[in-house]
């Protein structure tokens, strides 16, 4: 049985994100599989989704840190009666190809992450899609609960904490399986003004760390707070000083509408 896991709390993502994720998994994963959502709100979820009540964090949430430390709940010794390896997926990723191989590479006891292209020399892992055996990361949770703010201050990102301290170390998915939308698919300036992001044939999952999410990519905007406008209007706004960042960043932070997102990001 292939086990897929996601987590949702708060109001940032509605039930439709979980349902879309289930739909993408169902189209791209050979049965039998189970799909579990760790959540504090079951309203609106598809009946095929198996709910695991959101465990308490166990501490005060760290402050002034960019990491999503609420994910530390997943590192518990016991999680909803699951056992063995699970494939964790962020709610805002897009599945574009078969997921079967994510259950076939490595050993069942391995912790396998996506590569973070932001820090290539650090070999930092990305937990947008990662596989781990239930309970193996329990020592990380125990150490985090012993000093949550200190751990967050030391590592900043929860994925850096996992990368550096997972028992036995971590490995990474084969190159090309996972694409970072902003880093791998958005063309560099000035090509980004003329050409929409393209989906490589080998890509199986597209991840969206940072402020640019699937609905933004579909509409053609860098993040949910920005307006949808054409390339010339974007350049003109930058030259007029209608921006919140340096001109060079403003020009790079433009993405044309990406229609293939709609083909995949659906129930």
Q: What is the CATH number of the domain that holds 47?
A: 3.90.550.10
- Report whether 48 contacts 24 (CB < 8 A): no
Cβ atoms 54, 38 nearer than 8 A = yes
Cβ atoms of 172 and 109 within 8 Å: the answer is no
168 and 183 both lie in a single domain: no
Tell me: cis bond preceding 32? Omega within 30 of 0 counts.
yes
Q: Are residues 101 and 208 in the same domain?
A: no
Cis check: omega of the bond before 190, within 30 degrees of 0: yes
Q: How many other CB atoms are found less than 10 A from the CB of residue 6?
A: 24
pLDDT at residue 225 above 80? no
Which pLDDT value is given to residue 120? 80
Q: Which residues form the domain of 222?
A: 178-264
184 and 132 share one domain: no
CA gap 109, 120 in Å, rounded: 25
Q: How far apart are CA 72 and CA 204, in angstroms?
A: 26
- Which of 140, 172, 204 terminates a domain? The answer is 172
Q: Is residue 224 left, alpha or beta, with left meaning phi > 0 and alpha meaning psi from -120 to 50?
A: alpha
Cα–Cα distances (Å) from 237 to 216, 223, 257, in that order, read 19, 16, 18
Shared domain check, 115 and 32: yes
Q: Are residues 161 and 204 in the same domain?
A: no
Query: 160 and 183: one domain?
Result: no
Q: Are residues 76 and 138 in the same domain?
A: yes
Q: What is the pLDDT of residues 250-265, one digit of tens each?
A: 999 999 999 999 999 9
pLDDT tens digits, residue range 29-77?
A: 999 999 999 999 999 999 999 999 999 999 999 999 999 999 999 999 9
Going by DSSP bridges, is the β-strand pair 94-95/112-115 parallel, antiparallel, or unpaired? unpaired
pLDDT digits (tens, 9 = 90+) for 129-162: 999 999 999 999 999 999 999 999 999 999 999 9
Domain count for the chain, please give it: 2
Query: Domain end: 172, 207, 237, which one?
Result: 172
pLDDT for 81: 96
């Amino acid at each position: 049985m292939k086990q897929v896991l996601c987590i949702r709390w708060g109001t940032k993502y509605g039930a439709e994100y979980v349902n879309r994720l289930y739909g993408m998994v169902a189209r791209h994963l050979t049965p039998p599989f189970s799909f579990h959502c760790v959540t504090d709100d079951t309203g609106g979820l598809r009946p095929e989704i198996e709910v695991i009540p959101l465990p308490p964090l166990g501490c005060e949430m760290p402050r002034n840190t960019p990491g999503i430390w609420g994910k530390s709940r997943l590192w518990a010794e016991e999680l909803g009666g699951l056992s063995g390896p699970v494939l964790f997926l962020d709610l805002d990723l897009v599945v574009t190809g078969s997921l079967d191989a994510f259950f076939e590479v490595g050993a069942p006891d391995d912790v396998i992450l996506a590569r973070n292209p932001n820090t290539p020399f650090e070999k930092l892992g990305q937990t947008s899609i990662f596989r781990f055996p239930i309970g193996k990361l329990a020592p990380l949770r125990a150490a985090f609960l012993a000093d949550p703010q200190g751990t967050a201050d030391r590592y900043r990102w929860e994925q850096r904490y996992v990368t550096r301290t997972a028992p036995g170390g971590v490995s990474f998915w084969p190159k090309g399986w996972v694409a970072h939308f902003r880093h791998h698919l958005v063309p560099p300036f000035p090509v980004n003004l003329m050409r929409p992001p393209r989906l490589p044939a080998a890509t199986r999952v597209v991840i969206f760390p940072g402020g640019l999410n699937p609905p933004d990519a579909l509409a053609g905007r860098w993040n949910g707070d920005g307006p949808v406008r054409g390339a010339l209007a974007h350049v003109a706004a930058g030259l007029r000083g209608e921006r919140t960042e340096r001109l060079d960043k403003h020009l790079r932070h433009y993405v044309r509408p990406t229609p293939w997102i709609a083909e995949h990001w659906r129930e």
